[in-house]
Amino acid sequence: PGLADERSVEAQVRLGVESHLKHLDAAPAGFWLPECAWREGLEGVLESEGLKYVLVDSTALGGLTPFFAHRVEGSGLSVIARSERAHQNVWDEDIGYPTDSSYVDSTKYYERSGLHYWRVTGEDVPIEDKEVYRPAEAQKRVLEHAGHFMAELADELVECEGGAPEVPPVVLASYDTELFGHGWREGVYWLEVLLRSLSGSESVRPTTPLGYLAFGEPAGSVRLSETTWGTGRDHSTWLNVETRWMWEQLGVAQERLRGLAGSSCGEISERALAQAAREVLLLESSDWPYMVAKDRAKEYAIERFSLHIGRFDDIADALERGDMSALEVMLADIEDVDNVFPHLDLALVFGPGAPHDEGS
């Protein structure tokens, strides 16, 4: 969001599609952009990669119903908006299911063992006043919350009856997978109970976005508004006074990386160029400015961001000097720790026709 470089966005989408294909042995049909962010022009990027649909925040629809798919204006791309109600029930930091006093407090642990012994107990309760976690009680609450969610789904579907009778309505429930098991320890069990319950339901049928689109044509076209799912449904969660320096440094690194595109002239320099691209990809993670803006492990986020900037600059300096000896020593350490996209295809980063591209 915010100052994201257009060419970098294109590279990220290409890498996402390629990663999906590599690990799942199938091309993806749709895309969920980071932080549910949207801005005009992305439809062309997504369509060029063969994608059929995109998931967005409901505020992107400008007041249109989120219970049916729409077509992005001027394109063949379908759009499905997430349910705000389904989001709040599970993900909301104040009222979501994980805040229930019966569940494990994933933020408190015993320093000597790293184990979590306490339950949430209540808001802002200090660790010394936390109550001991009781698994049986937590399992009972999971059943209750799964039942509540089922009822909420049914209510939403009833509310939108008659909107487009030829196509059934849909409630899009989409969540970061890190929530389940990490942020919400019991979340995996909740998912199991919910999906087993839905499989036997006669009124609500679980499906995927692509499966839903098979029911019929979208309800109509829409010009999507620029949104995210952050505070205020804009970019301010990530782009603000506290984080602007991060975006500025990222922009410099992105531009410098493009300038290195023709510097590959052997195995070491090829590895170095790929690692420089990995460091920029790590810098582009929306987690860092989010953690700074929300003051959640803020110092750690700044440390990690600065670390990747430093590693990128060191690699770029050595590439520009043509210092293969320094690069070989450097890569021996960095490649092992920053190994995201281990088989990175540089043509996906720089685009076909770049100086390093063997096909050019």
Q: Is 25 assigned a catalytic role? A: no
Q: Which of 243, 317, 332, 242 is nearest to 283 (CA)?
A: 243
**Under a CB-based contact definition with an 8 Å cutoff, are residues 350 and 258 in contact?**
yes
Task: Tell me the pLDDT tens digit for each residue of 148-199.
Answer: 999 999 999 888 765 555 789 999 999 998 899 988 999 999 999 999 999 9
Give the CB-side neighbour count of residue 78, counting CA atoms within 13 A. Answer: 19
- Residues contacting residue 217 through CB under 8 Å, at least 6 positions apart: 167
What are the tokens at 54?
């995109």
**Under a CB-based contact definition with an 8 Å cutoff, are residues 44 and 51 in contact?**
no
- At residue 353, the pLDDT reads 57
Spot the catalytic one: 159, 176, 267, 317. 176
Band of residue 3 on the pLDDT scale cut at 50, 70, 90 = very low
Band of residue 25 on the pLDDT scale cut at 50, 70, 90 = very high
Strand partners, 104: 119
What are the tokens at 147?
């039942």
- At residue 59, the pLDDT reads 95
Number of Cβ within 10 Å of residue 310's Cβ equals 11
Strand partners, 55: 32, 80
Q: Is 105 assigned a catalytic role? A: no
Confidence check: pLDDT of 352 > 70: no
Give the CB-side neighbour count of residue 103, counting CA atoms within 13 A. Answer: 25
Spot the catalytic one: 35, 105, 186, 279. 35
Q: Which whole-number Å values give the CA distances from 46 to 40, 76, 138, 165, 250, in the listed order?
A: 12, 10, 42, 29, 23
Stretch 248-254: mean pLDDT, rounded?
Answer: 94
The model's pTM is 0.88
Q: Decide which of 350 and 286 is more confident.
A: 286
What are the tokens at 51?
């994608």
